[in-house]
Amino acid sequence: MRLDLTGVSAHIDGRPIVDGVELTAGPGEFVALVGPNGSGKSTLLRTVYRSLRPSGGVVRLDGEDLWRMRPRQAARHRAVLPQHSQISEGLSVAEVVATGRHSRKRPLERDNDTDRAVVATALRRVGMEGAADRLMTALSGGERQRVLLARALAQEAPLLVLDEPTNHLDVGSQLLLLDLIRSLGLTLLAALHDLDQAAAYADRVVVLRDGRVAGHGPPLEVLTPAFIEEVFGVRAHVGPHPITGRPHIAVASPAMDAEGAPEVRTVG
Amino acid sequence: MADTLTHVQVRPAPPRRPHLVSGPATGVLLAALVAGLVAALVAGISVGSVNLPLGQVWGIVWAHLSGRGAQADPLLSQVVWDIRTPRALLAALAGAGLSVAGVALQALVRNPLADPYVLGVSSAASLGAVLVPALGGTALAGLTGALGVTGAAFAAAVLSALLVYVLAQRSGRLLDSWLVLTGVAIGYLCTAATTFVQLQLNPTELQGMMFWLMGSVAGASWTDLGVPALLVVSCLAWLWLQARSLNALLAGEEAAVAIGVPVARLRIGLLVAGSLLTATVVSVVGGIGFIGLMVPHMVRFVVGADHRRVLPVSLLAGALFLVLVDLAARIADRPNELPVGIFTTGLGVPFFLWLLRRRARGGSDAT
């Protein structure tokens, strides 16, 4: 599945948030969307998960206009792990994952063996197979996030869009979630905050600043120390990772000295 | 490359099932509710302010059912067939309609404390009803006279739902918090207007109105049943088709859109179905409180939140509940009748408070 955004603009309450963004993700490619808070990452993603209609430009899946598809058809092509989700009170884990089958079922069709198998597989892939009969309200934040990922997997869509999927997860869960989504063989578009994670996992990054693309390409070509300082206002260093030896992006506050203590500055 | 997130051990699943009743047991529950409803209807027709032998009562019912109603004793026939039977059936329909409306509106505003009256529909219906005697003799008497109390209540309820919709949407999309706040505001406005109008009524008119404002299925006739029956059946059918979408909507609007639910259209449909059901029921039986709030919650405690179970179970449980409550209202103080609203609310308020306290504690175990 190939995703193409051509000149996509989006407004919220009449205010332009995203302006003429070009973005492409080829089949099986992992594209990370990075940028400071308020740069328009979530708004851009909303045009891909059809929660906000672009005010200009086109979102295409394999050449077909996403916004001209019927809702169910769109959901068969792209799944979403949204940033904000409400806890489905009174539903069990398996029932929540089964809602991901919505686009595959006719209204009165009952769940069949295929649906149950897809739900079980999705839960196994996220390591939640033992929790199928637990209530969503009884899970921890990290467990809920994995269930929501399983729900997206149950859509069996070739494109997966994720909005800051590692939010609220401990470091171990963050890395394992990223390992997991990269192993799925899907086309991935994910908004990420951690530049080092973006560099380590993504095939390409697209950097947004003030709603426009400020840079795009392979992570280490784009995320140079000078560029990171310009966009994010932090000092950055790219060097070999002390454990893996792979390129690693370290950042520090401009106020931080070599000992790691913030410089005391008198204001006024 | 890791295939699963296995480093964090999932706490072992507790031995109990997620819901008290799930899977095939739901069928048993539905069958039990149907049996209970039939039994309650039988009791509702058999018992009343006048003591009649059971054999005689069912002889008359059977005579009417088999098309020989004209041969039955006219006085007894009137009591049993023209008063008690439609009354019991109306109680069932109103209870079913209110609880299904509660399910629809709780799904719409995603607020557990929402009930069929959250959009101000019942306050508007009351206002419409009191306006009929109040406007008698004015220039509008022709209009209100043509509508009758029921028609005026229905018209006012539909108008208020329309007003709430117009005020709570932005470019066709309904906003949760606006819906609730607009509905509550309109409700207050209608209540204030109703109070003012009531002050203008004479005591006789007021007495009749009070009984209606409290809610009652007394005075039901066969002609009252058609419209509510049609609306309950058609709204339930439509909601039943949306059951999967309603489940998806539990995770929030954005998540539901991602799954492929046409959320904007679904929510407008919920508003229409919930308001029509409520307006119809309220215009026939008045403001019967708490059924629309408590029945869906009790049902969710038992069968979970999957709407494929919640909808049919709520329908039957609501019908059963109101038939029983009406029976209680008739026999508690025989031969006098108490307004049914006293019993539903008397049972409803403690439940409401318990629910509130339970939610305040987090309530994660029993939901």
Is the domain of A32 the same as that of A81? yes
Q: How many domains does chain B have?
A: 1
Instruction: Note the pLDDT tens digit of each residue in A160-171.
Output: 999 999 887 888
Q: How far is CA A158 from the centre of its chain?
A: 14
- In chain B, which residue's Cα lies nearest the Cα of A170? B8
- The CATH number of the domain holding residue B81 is 1.10.3470.10
Tell me the pLDDT of chain A averaged across its residues.
Answer: 91
For B279-327, the pLDDT digits (tens) are 888 888 888 878 898 899 888 888 889 999 999 999 999 999 999 999 9
Digit-coded pLDDT (tens) for B121-166: 888 888 888 888 777 767 677 777 777 778 888 888 888 888 988 8
* Minimal CA separation from A91 to chain B, in Å: 5
* B311 half-sphere exposure, CB direction, 13 A CA radius: 21
Residue A264 has pLDDT above 70, yes or no: no
- Judge whether B20 lies within some domain: no
Q: Which amino acid is at B71?
A: Q
Instruction: Give the residue among B309, B321, B174 at the shortest CA–CA distance from B244.
Output: B309
* pLDDT at residue B70, as a whole number: 76
Asked if A228 and A160 sit in the same domain, the reply is: no
pLDDT at B361 over 60: no
From residue B306, alpha-carbon distances to A166, B22, B98 in Å are 29, 10, 19
Interval A58-87: pLDDT, tens: 999 999 999 999 999 999 999 999 888 888
Residues B10, B293 contacting (CB under 8 angstroms): no
Give a yes or no: residue B165 inside a domain: yes
Residues in A touching B253 (Cβ below 8 Å): 51
- A200, A218, A236 - which closes a domain: A218
Instruction: Let me know if A24 is exposed, middle or buried by CB neighbors in 10 A (0-12, 13-18, 19+).
Output: middle
* Partner-chain contact A86 B304, CB within 8 Å: no
As a whole number of angstroms, the distance between CA B172 and CA B131 comes to 32
Element (H, E) at A94: helix A93-99
CA distance B299 to chain A (A): 11
Contacts of B6 in chain A (CB under 8 A): 127
- Predicted ipTM beyond 0.90: no
Residue A181 sits in the same domain as residue A268: no
Q: Max Cα separation, chain B? A: 85
Of the pLDDT bands very low, low, confident and very high (cuts 50, 70, 90), residue B355 is low
The answer to whether position B366 is within a domain reads no
Residue B100 CA: distances (Å) to CA of A11, A15, B94, B344:
38, 40, 10, 16
Span A212-255, pLDDT tens digits: 999 999 999 999 999 999 999 999 999 888 888 888 899 998 88
State whether A168 and A253 are in the same domain: no
- A199 and A143 part of one domain: yes
- Mean pLDDT for A252-264 is 73
Does residue B28 lie within any of the structural domains?
A: no
Strand partners, B301: none
The answer as to whether B90 is a domain residue is yes
- Work out the pLDDT band at A265, boundaries 50, 70, 90: low
Say if residue A55 is in the same domain as residue A173.
Answer: yes
Is B16 part of a structural domain of the chain? no
Whole-structure pTM value:
0.87
Which pLDDT score is estimated for A53? 93
Given a cut of 50, whether residue B367 has pLDDT beyond it is no
Most confident of A87-91, A148-152, B204-208: A148-152
pLDDT band, very low/low/confident/very high, at A261 (cuts 50, 70, 90): low
Judged by CB atoms closer than 8 Å, whether chains meet at A88 and B5 is answered as: no
| Total domain count, chain A | 2
What CATH number is associated with residue A49? 3.40.50.300
User: What are the φ and ψ backbone dihedral angles of B191, each rounded to 5 degrees?
Assistant: -65, -45
Whether residues A77 and A137 fall in one domain: yes
Q: Do B261 and A152 touch (CB under 8 A)?
A: no
Segment B81-118, tens digit of pLDDT: 888 999 999 999 999 999 999 999 999 988 877 888 88
The answer to whether residues A124 and A58 belong to one domain is: yes
Same domain, A206 and A233: no
Do A101 and A122 contact (CB within 8 A), yes or no?
A: no
Residues of chain B contacting residue A88, judged by C-beta atoms under 8 Å apart: 247, 250-251, 305
Together in a domain, A146 and A161: yes
- Evaluate whether residue B56 is within a structural domain: yes
Shortest CA distance from A136: residue in chain B: B364
Mean pLDDT value across residues A129-156: 91
Q: Are residues A54 and A178 in the same domain?
A: yes
Residue B51 inside a domain? The answer is: yes
Q: What is the pLDDT, as a whole number, of residue A263?
A: 63
Q: Which of A187, A202, A218 is the last residue of a domain?
A: A218
CB atoms within 10 A of CB B240: 17
Residue A37 or B24, more confident: A37
> What does the pLDDT read at residue B221?
86
Range of the domain at A26: 3-218
**Does A137 share its domain with A264?**
no
Tokens 């009417």 map to which residue?
B64
Give the one of B5, B13, B255 whose C-beta lies nearest to A127's C-beta.
B5
Q: Which residue out of B8, B16, B306, B307 would a mutagenesis test of the A interface target, given it has the greatest number of A Cβ atoms within 10 Å?
A: B8
DSSP H or E segment with residue A206:
strand A204-209
Task: Write down the pLDDT at residue B122.
Answer: 83
pLDDT at A63: 93
